[in-house]
Amino acid sequence: MKKNGHFFCLLTILLSGVLCAADEFPIAAAKSRVVMARNPKAINERNQANQQETTRLFDSALTALTGEKSAADSWRALGLRPEDTVAVKINCNTWTIDLSPHPELVNALCRSLQAVVPANRIIIYDNESAAMEKSGFAINRSENGVRRTGTDQGDGFDPQERLTTIVTRHASKIINLASLKCAEGDLVASLLFKNHIGSLIPEDMPKCHNSHEFLAGVSARPSIKNKTILNIIAGLRGTYRRGVPWYWAGIILGTDPAAAEITAIDVMNAKRAAEKVPALPIPEYLKLAEAQFDLGTMDHDYFELVRLDL
């Protein structure tokens, strides 16, 4: 059969178009969303949160993230089912200035979750019960209400994953609720990835301070990677330099931990630029989380940032 040059040219163009589209479509379809929401009325200059305004902040951010109209639809879109048990990892390290998440924000989250799951299937946890109590989260291991517990309360640790059994056995879904905290030094920041140090068996915790690879790898362990449905960075009050707080009055929400983490570093760097402080570098653990552990992207071209100012 005689081959026509024009036909092959046309075919080549068409095939190239199809291949290009096939190459680009999955990226566009997989593009996750990060919501950066602020509400100055949610916090005052004495670190006192307003419950109503904090709830409004959280609810608005959640629906902006999912594009749904209600909390129930939003949680369902994130994969939450009525039979689930949700563990929420908070960071109650209160050394020097208190940067624990405000109880008002955790209340807003729990209230929202109850659109799908009952209160008693929500577990708020950190590693130290005493630190939780000091941050306003009274331990509650009863059958009534939202459960609040420390990994030091005897639930044990999974021998394979070396994580608290709250994560490996009790919870079917996980929410990582970190604080907007600048660490500087080697680790740069204490955000989502560092938050899960508190999910580790205690003897492994110091390993995170010596190895970025170990730290990034914690979030890649099956129970954390497969069960996490939402990442939140609480920044009603945060730090942009180590030990220097400011009332950012916002929260960051995302399903992609690397994208949410780099957004938080961007927030700190914007404040640092305003204060004429050199920018924070991208932490090594975050580069490894993206490149080695497939824990999301920090490339701004590959996630959609939604800004919400209430």
Partner 1 sequence: MKRDPFIYGIIIGLLLLVSGGVIRASAPDRTMPADLVPQGFAASGLEERYGTPELKLENGSIFDYMDGGGIVYLEHGFSEIIHREFTDAAGHRISLDIFTMDTATNALTALSDERISPAGGIPLAIEVTNKSYRFPPDYFIYLVHGQHLIYLHVNDDGLADTLNQFAGALLNAETEEKQ
Q: Which residues bind partner 1 (CB under 8 A)?
A: 45-47, 93, 95-98, 183-187, 190, 194, 197, 205-206, 208-209, 241-245
Closer Cβ to partner 1, 198 or 254, answer by number = 198
Strand duo 188-190 + 181-184: pairing: antiparallel
What's phi and psi for 33, nearest 5 deg? -115, 140
Compute the least distance from the CB of residue 285 to partner 1, in Å: 11
Q: List the one residue out of 148, 127, 135, 128 whose CA is nearest residue 99.
A: 135
Closer Cβ to partner 1, 173 or 194, answer by number = 194
Q: Give the CA distances from residue 169 to residues 69, 155, 165, 284, in Å, rounded to whole numbers and listed in that order.
A: 32, 10, 5, 30
Compute the least distance from the CB of residue 224 to partner 1, in Å: 19
- What is the distance between the alpha carbons of residues 171 and 253, in angstroms, rounded to a whole number? 20
What's phi and psi for 90, nearest 5 deg? -110, 165
- What is the distance between the alpha carbons of residues 168 and 130, in angstroms, rounded to a whole number? 23
Q: Give the CA distances from residue 177 to residues 13, 192, 229, 301, in Å, rounded to whole numbers and listed in that order.
A: 48, 7, 11, 25
Compute the least distance from the CB of residue 192 to partner 1, in Å: 14
Compute the least distance from the CB of residue 105 to partner 1, in Å: 18
Closer Cβ to partner 1, 208 or 308, answer by number = 208
- What is the distance between the alpha carbons of residues 109 and 176, in angstroms, rounded to a whole number? 12
* DSSP string across 206-252: THHHH-HHHHHHHTTSHHHHHHEEEEEEEESSEEEETTEEE---EEE
Compute the least distance from the CB of residue 245 to partner 1, in Å: 5
Compute the least distance from the CB of residue 185 to partner 1, in Å: 5
Place of tokens 């996980």: 174
Compute the least distance from the CB of residue 88 to partner 1, in Å: 19
Chain center to CA of 106: 14
Compute the least distance from the CB of residue 246 to partner 1, in Å: 9
Q: List the one residue out of 284, 298, 112 whose CA is nearest residue 209.
A: 284
Identity of the amino acid at 283: P
Strand duo 188-190 + 147-150: pairing: unpaired
